[in-house]
Amino acid sequence: MTKREVIARIEEIKELHSIKNNEVNSLMKITYEDYSEETGEMTVSFPVDEWMSNPGGLMHGGVIATAFDIALGYHTLVVEREKAIVTTNLSIQYLKQIPLGSRFVVKSKMTRNGKSLVHLHAEGFVEGSDEIVATSTCTYMKLDSGVNAGTKMKV
């Protein structure tokens, strides 16, 4: 898959997910950063906005998990064009703080793409740093069509 095809697919997915402006996918404001045709790795980022704050003034752990789920979900949907997906497992390891006003960068790699399950691994960074702030593994189940995130839509 070429970078151009990946960008087009991400925009298509974003359009499908922006049907309601108040849905989590729209609120997170995902941005495509890079895709390696050689390794299949994808990089996306998210602004760390004020509403994402925990009581300590940092990016909330639940929002970090949401960012990973969205990033890895997009990666899966780019590869699995004719399938809808649901998250079956999401594991997060929180390593460092993520300050408000920064960008949370997620680099993901598909580790296995089976008949019914897709497995991915990701590392999270604060933009401008190569220090890992969080990691995630995630598994998605492929559905034949139609149901994705509780709405009926063909993805």
pLDDT at res. 147? 44
Residue 106: which domain range? 3-152
Q: What is the mean pLDDT of each run of 10 residues along the chain (155 residues)?
A: 83 70 80 90 97 96 98 92 89 98 98 96 98 98 65 44
The token pair that represents 140 in the structure block = 């998605």
Tell me the whole-structure pTM to 2 decimals: 0.86
First-to-final CA distance of the chain: 18
pLDDT at res. 148? 47
- CA distance linking residue 36 with residue 28, whole number of Å: 23
Average pLDDT score over the chain: 88
**How do residues 77-107 score in pLDDT, each as one tens digit?**
888 877 789 999 999 999 999 999 999 999 9
- CA distance linking residue 71 with residue 44, whole number of Å: 7
pLDDT at res. 155? 43
Give the containing element (helix H, strand E) for 124: strand 117-126
Say if residues 58 and 111 touch (Cβ distance below 8 Å): no
CATH number reported for the structural domain that contains residue 91 in this entry: 3.10.129.10
CB within 8 A of 116, min separation 6: which ones?
Answer: 141, 142
Say if residues 56 and 49 touch (Cβ distance below 8 Å): no
pLDDT at res. 23? 76
* Structural domain count of the chain: 1
- The radius of gyration computed from the CA coordinates of the chain, to the nearest angstrom, equals 15
Size of the chain, expressed as the number of residues it contains: 155
CB within 8 A of 4, min separation 6: which ones?
Answer: none
